Amino acid sequence: MPLVSFGPPPLCLSVLPWLSRLLPSLPPPVRDVDVPPLFRQRFVLSGYRPPGLPLRCYVLSLLQIHNQTLNVWSHLLAAGILGFRLQGPEGQGFSLDAASLPLVLYVFSAVMYLSCSAAAHLFQSHSEQLHDWFFFLDSVAVGVFQHGSALALSVYSADAAWTQSMLGKVFLPGSTLLAWSCCSACCYAKLHFHWLNPLNRKFLLQLVPTGTGFLLVIGPLVQRLTAQSWSPVALFLLSFFFFSCPVPERFAPGRYDIIGHAHQLSHILSALGTLIQQEALFHDFLWRRPALIRLSVFLFPFPCFQLPVSLSLFSQVWSHRVHLRDSAAE
């Protein structure tokens, strides 16, 4: 009678050491006193990942419960949905003509900002140097998305009267300037002021240029807010509120460490607002596509703003990165 063994086969025994090296056991989350001040959030007392681990540990922390899990997954899932929607509003892909190019650029800018945000929160606990670098990159992506939204809304959602107005004529150059200013202010505030500083500095250096840019971006929608355009505007405004105010954790420190603190709510609301905005843009694109194809010759200059904006924003981040390196060397 043959013997039956319930032990693992020899192949598994040879693979297990390799898997243990590839997939190391993750240390449990720690409290705020165990991480540098740069990594802490106000009124969030636990759920922090230990700094200094190998990068693969932070990648694997996607499957771990900590105070950044919801921040990462909310934007990562939204980026995946937006990437899937690159099939186009009709499910057959985009035809890269001048009429659809602003919409393609918008989708790419949205995927870029969501992906960079997820990466920033995923790797923020590795080191102070990597923390700052990823959040500078996140600021670049937000600036690019801000301009991508302005471009798409001005082409597909603006009324003809608004397009011919003075504001409509300076809209895209103004959004370019504000996107650059927003990125510069956020990078400077991140580099020089941390969460321990008073709120007024953060308000002046981050929220004011970002909020001004948002108000300019929704300019083409002002005349349509009584119709279907309230949802993304309301979601983005709520996202700004939770980004700037530590509510509800301020009233119960430690209770909302893993789920429910303000930055998580801001992430979820901004992701939902982006998804709803994209669907609205798809609707406007299909509605106006015949007219846009006839007027496509006038749309070529608009996407050309995207490349200089991206390059100028990246150069701004690089200059801040060099300044950080020089300061550390001193």
In order, the DSSP letters of 124-175 are: TTS-HHHHHHHHHHHHHHHHHHHHHHHHHHHHHT--HHHHHSHHHHHHHHHH
What are the b/e assignments for 207-238, b being 16+ CB within 10 Å? bebbbebbebbbbbbeebeeeebeebbebbeb
CB atoms within 10 A of CB 291: 11
pTM of the entire predicted model: 0.82
pLDDT value for 216: 62
Residue 88's pLDDT is 60
Domains and their CATH numbers in the chain: 68-329 (1.20.1070)
Confirm or deny that 263 is annotated as ligand binding: yes
Site of tokens 């807010």:
225
Residue 99's contacts (CB-CB under 8 Å, 6 or more residues apart) are: 289, 292, 293, 296, 299
Q: Which amino acid is it at 308? A: P
- Write down the pLDDT at residue 281: 84
121 is in an annotated binding site: yes
Task: Return the pLDDT at 28.
Answer: 93
Q: What is the pLDDT of residues 262-284, one digit of tens each?
A: 999 999 999 998 888 888 888 88
Mean pLDDT by 10 residues, the chain (330 residues): 46 51 78 92 94 94 94 96 74 66 88 94 92 85 86 83 80 80 76 56 60 61 54 81 88 94 94 87 82 53 50 55 56
Phi, psi of 24 (to 5 degrees): -70, 155
Which pLDDT score, from 0 to 100, does residue 301 have? 46
Asked if residues 209 and 216 have their Cβ atoms less than 8 Å apart, the reply is no
At residue 117, the pLDDT reads 95
